[in-house]
């Protein structure tokens, strides 16, 4: 598969880049593997520090509030009962670790499957390697407008992380900047367009 190369002004440079079919056009993208990769990535982002107090952890008297029978209502015990406001929670959340592991080959297949879907949907735009002289959000917005991705959730993939480009995109809602080594199935799919530089295509072709 070949794609045209544009500059940051949206003009066709006349150059072409070849996408590796083993990465961007695999015969059968595996959706279940993508699901596993996304689930693992999101789970590993969780702190797992959620906690609520259960009955044994509530401060209060243990005196039985009313007699067992004859009260005309349901039986209950002390003030810490989950039946009362301020009582302990039944089966509340406890701290836990959401970390899971996936084999490297599984994650690589998920990433290739995600990139194949991106290529099939024409959501990959290749641009020349570029740099901004200074961090300016206006320059980044002008680039997205020239490439017809303004207002979309866009990810810019640079061969090497450039501080000026990163700072220019930081205040643009929905825009992210990363390097090829940071790509995974979730990051590839969590945008409407990928703006990829020539040097990063060379790295991605080796996935």
What would the pLDDT profile of 72-125 be if each residue is shown by its tens digit?
988 889 999 998 999 999 999 999 999 999 999 999 999 999 999 999 999 999
Compute the average pLDDT of residues 14-36.
95
Cα 38 to Cα 185: distance, rounded to the nearest angstrom: 6
What burial class does residue 130 get, using C-beta atoms within 10 Å of its C-beta: 0-12 exposed, 13-18 middle, 19+ buried? middle
Instruction: Report residue 186's pLDDT band, with 50, 70 and 90 as the boundaries.
Output: very high
Residue with token string 């066709």 = 12
In this predicted structure, the answer to whether residue 69 has a pLDDT above a threshold of 90 is: yes
Beta bridge partners of 201: none
Token pair of 98 as six digits = 């959401």
Cα 24 to Cα 101: distance, rounded to the nearest angstrom: 25
Helix (H, G, I), strand (E, B), or coil: what is residue 5?
Answer: strand
Compute the average pLDDT of residues 48-54.
96
**Domain formed by 2-47+98-204, architecture:** 3-Layer(aba) Sandwich (3.40)
pLDDT value for 48:
95
pLDDT value for 23:
95
pLDDT value for 1:
85
pLDDT value for 76:
87
For CATH 3.40.1370.10, the residue range(s) in the chain are 2-47+98-204
Which phi and psi (to 5°) does residue 77 adopt? Answer: -105, -120
120 membership: H or E segment, kind and range: helix 104-120
Strand ranges (E), the chain: 2-6, 12-18, 124-127, 154-157, 175-178, 193-197
CA 171 to chain centre: 18
Radius of gyration of the chain (CA): 26
Computed over every residue of the chain, the mean pLDDT equals 94
Q: CB neighbours (10 Å) of residue 162?
A: 19
Compute the average pLDDT of residues 126-149.
94
In this predicted structure, the answer to whether residue 161 has a pLDDT above a threshold of 90 is: no
CA 180 to chain centre: 15
Compute the average pLDDT of residues 176-188.
95
CA 54 to chain centre: 33
pLDDT value for 107:
96
Compute the average pLDDT of residues 169-188.
95
In this predicted structure, the answer to whether residue 160 has a pLDDT above a threshold of 90 is: no
CB 49 within 8 A of CB 94: no
């Amino acid at each position: 598969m070949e794609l045209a190369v544009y500059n940051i002004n949206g003009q066709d440079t006349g150059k072409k880049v070849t996408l590796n079919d083993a990465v961007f056009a695999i015969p059968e993208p595996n959706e279940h593997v993508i699901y596993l990769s996304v689930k693992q990535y999101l789970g590993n982002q969780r702190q797992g520090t959620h906690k609520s107090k259960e009955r044994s952890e509530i401060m209060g008297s243990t005196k039985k509030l009313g007699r067992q029978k004859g009260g005309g209502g349901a039986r209950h015990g002390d003030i810490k009962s989950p039946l009362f406001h301020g009582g302990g929670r039944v089966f509340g959340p406890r701290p836990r670790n959401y970390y899971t592991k996936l084999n490297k080959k599984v994650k690589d297949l998920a990433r290739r499957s995600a990139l194949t879907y991106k290529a099939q949907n024409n959501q990959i735009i290749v641009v020349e390697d570029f740099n901004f002289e200074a961090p300016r959000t206006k320059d980044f917005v002008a680039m997205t407008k020239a490439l017809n991705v303004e207002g979309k959730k866009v990810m810019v993939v640079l061969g090497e992380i450039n501080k000026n480009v990163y700072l220019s995109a930081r205040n643009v809602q929905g825009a992210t900047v990363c390097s090829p080594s940071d790509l995974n199935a979730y990051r590839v799919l969590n945008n409407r367009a990928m703006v990829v530089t020539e040097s990063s295509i060379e790295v991605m072709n080796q996935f």
